[in-house]
């Protein structure tokens, strides 16, 4: 009976070991996140709303650029006492109007701000897409780990039943294993639901339903070329969307002050007017220059508010630049340390796998128990799960660092995709 028990025990152990060591098979295909990003640019509802907002901003810019276009009014009417209609036409061409000139100058930073805001929405879309892909990846890896765990527990439960029937085991051992197996099966249902929700969320962003098998990680992740913090910071402070947006807001606020000040200055316009009264058959025409000196007492209070807005925009720019510098430093450090952490974790996986083999051989020699082998297997599951978390987090940090450094979002997604899924 002892020999039969050892046979079933060794079979369970070796099956569990094989499942542990084969949990992370290298995928045949990897998902092309860059291609899905292009699809998302045409599908994602949030980004479509941002494009509509951008179109509205461009219309407002064109309206501001038309301030020196001629203005015309035409009217016709007939009173009860008239024998004919009264017709009038007036055309005014602004010639000298500093307030209008400031509005025209303000159009340029407004257009640039609209473009930068749209770029920020593209960056947000890239981040959401990669995060959604990582949720699928983590769910796939956790499902694989949990399936291996369930199979190992089922094998161990079968061994416990045979030991119990042979008078060598206990009911308590069997019930403990069955409880753990039931918990793993319940967890599997939750993980399957999590994967389904993650796939639907990805589809809601990209417009395509991906294949879950395309989100399996390779066995090893290599290095990523990282520049110095100063290089990233200089690029981010010169071309970063959030920094540029803050600068354009300052320019817009400054032009607003100039517009209010210019509203006190006289204006000059070319005027053409024509009027005709049908009852008296009288035509009146006039071509000349019109001058206007506005007197707006209430505008003085608006000037104070506009000047305060300039100060607020300047302080917001200073705060944004400081935050960008800190964020670039943080991300650069995370990417650098992340590569080291992945290498260490890979060593931990190798050590855990050796521990499974060592515990298996010790158990065969009667030194270790089956529980020791199961604990060693669980350790392998844990360190591999931690490796998945580290790898996906590293991809997100790389993406964020590239976006802070004003990399085109499509290129940034492509870099994160290559790091996460390409075979090394």
Residue 267, pLDDT above cutoff 80: yes
pTM across the whole model: 0.81
User: Around Cβ 265, how many Cβ atoms within 10 Å?
Assistant: 13
pLDDT bucket at 37, cuts 50 / 70 / 90? very high
CB proximity list for 365: less than 8 A, separation 6 or greater: none
pLDDT bucket at 240, cuts 50 / 70 / 90? very high
The per-residue pLDDT for 279 is: 57
List, for residues 48-60, the tens digit of each pLDDT value: 999 999 999 889 8
Compute the C-alpha angle 120/37/233, nearest 5°.
40
225-240 average pLDDT score: 91
The per-residue pLDDT for 335 is: 95
* d(C-alpha 379, C-alpha 370), whole Å: 14
Compute the C-alpha angle 63/110/67, nearest 5°.
30
List, for residues 319-332, the tens digit of each pLDDT value: 999 999 999 999 99
Residue 422, pLDDT above cutoff 80: yes
Sorted by where each starts, the structural domains of the chain and their CATH numbers stand as 2-421 (1.20.1600.10)
**Pick from 201-205, 236-240, 299-303, 321-325: least confident:** 299-303
Residue 18, pLDDT above cutoff 70: no
- Give the residues across from 288 on adjacent strands: 271
Q: Is 85 helix (H, G, I), strand (E, B) or coil?
A: coil
Q: The tokens of 64 are what? A: 């501001």
DSSP secondary structure, 114-143, as one string: HHHHHHHHHHHHHHHHHHHHHHHHHHHHHH
Phi, psi at 29, each rounded to 5°: -125, 150
For the chain, state the CA radius of gyration: 36
* d(C-alpha 25, C-alpha 108), whole Å: 54
Please, what is the end-to-end C-alpha distance for the chain in angstroms? 49
List, for residues 211-231, the tens digit of each pLDDT value: 888 898 888 888 889 988 899
Residue 295 DSSP code: -
- Please return the burial class of 286, using the count of CB atoms within 10 Å of its CB with bins 0-12, 13-18 and 19+: exposed
Phi, psi at 90, each rounded to 5°: -135, 130
Residue 368, pLDDT above cutoff 50: yes
Do the beta carbons of residue 123 and residue 405 sit within 8 Å?
no
Q: The tokens of 198 are what? A: 């993650």
From the list 30, 27, 23, 25, the residue with the least C-alpha distance to 144 is 23
Do the beta carbons of residue 210 and residue 36 sit within 8 Å?
yes
From its phi and psi, is residue 207 left (phi > 0), alpha (psi between -120 and 50) or beta? left
CB proximity list for 52: less than 8 A, separation 6 or greater: none
Compute the C-alpha angle 324/329/330, nearest 5°.
95
User: Around Cβ 138, how many Cβ atoms within 10 Å?
Assistant: 22
* d(C-alpha 296, C-alpha 119), whole Å: 40
**Pick from 226-240, 294-308, 362-376: least confident:** 362-376
Q: How many CA atoms lie within 13 A of 183 on its CB side?
A: 8
Do the beta carbons of residue 399 and residue 126 sit within 8 Å?
yes
* d(C-alpha 392, C-alpha 376), whole Å: 25
Q: Give the β-pairing of 71-77 and 282-292.
A: unpaired
* d(C-alpha 25, C-alpha 206), whole Å: 27
Q: What percent of the chain has pLDDT over 90?
A: 43
List, for residues 143-169, the tens digit of each pLDDT value: 988 888 788 778 767 766 776 777 766
């Amino acid at each position: 009976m002892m020999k039969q028990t050892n046979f079933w025990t060794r079979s369970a152990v070796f099956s569990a070991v094989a499942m542990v060591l084969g949990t992370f098979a290298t995928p045949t295909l990897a998902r092309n996140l860059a291609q899905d990003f292009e699809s998302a640019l045409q599908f994602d509802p949030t980004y479509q709303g941002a494009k509509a907002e951008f179109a509205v901003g461009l219309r407002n810019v064109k309206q501001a650029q038309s301030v020196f276009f001629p203005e015309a009014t035409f009217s016709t009417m007939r009173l009860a006492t008239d024998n004919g209609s009264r017709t009038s036409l007036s055309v005014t061409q602004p010639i000298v109007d500093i307030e209008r000139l400031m509005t025209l100058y303000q159009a340029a930073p407004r257009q640039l701000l609209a473009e930068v805001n749209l770029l920020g929405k593209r960056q947000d879309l890239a981040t959401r897409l990669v995060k959604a892909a990582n949720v699928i990846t983590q769910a796939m890896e956790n499902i694989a780990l949990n399936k291996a765990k369930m199979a190992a527990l089922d094998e161990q439960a079968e061994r416990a039943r045979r030991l119990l029937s042979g008078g060598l085991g206990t009911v308590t051992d069997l019930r403990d294993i069955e409880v753990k197996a039931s918990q793993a099966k319940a967890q599997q249902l939750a993980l399957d639901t999590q994967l389904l929700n993650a796939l639907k969320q990805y589809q809601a962003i990209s417009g395509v339903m991906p294949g879950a098998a395309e989100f399996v990680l390779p066995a090893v992740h290599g290095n990523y070329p990282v520049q110095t913090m100063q290089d990233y910071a200089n690029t981010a402070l010169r071309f970063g969307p959030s920094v540029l947006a803050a600068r354009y807001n300052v320019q817009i606020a400054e032009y607003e002050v100039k517009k209010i000040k210019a509203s006190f200055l006289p204006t000059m316009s070319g005027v053409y007017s024509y009027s005709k009264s049908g009852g008296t058959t009288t035509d009146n025409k006039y071509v000349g220059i019109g001058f206007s000196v506005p007197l707006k007492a209430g505008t003085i209070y608006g000037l104070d508010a506009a000047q305060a807005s300039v100060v607020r925009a300047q302080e917001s720019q200073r705060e944004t630049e400081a935050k960008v510098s800190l964020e670039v430093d943080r991300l650069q450090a995370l990417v650098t340390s992340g590569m080291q952490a992945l290498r260490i974790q890979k060593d931990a996986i190798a050590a855990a796998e050796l521990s499974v083999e060592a515990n298996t051989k010790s158990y065969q020699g009667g030194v270790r128990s089956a529980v020791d082998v199961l604990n060693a297997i669980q350790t392998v599951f844990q360190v591999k799960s931690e490796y998945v978390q580290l790898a996906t987090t590293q991809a997100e940090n790389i993406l964020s660092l590239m976006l802070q450094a004003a990399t085109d979002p499509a290129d940034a997604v492509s870099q994160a995709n290559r790091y996460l899924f390409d075979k090394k």
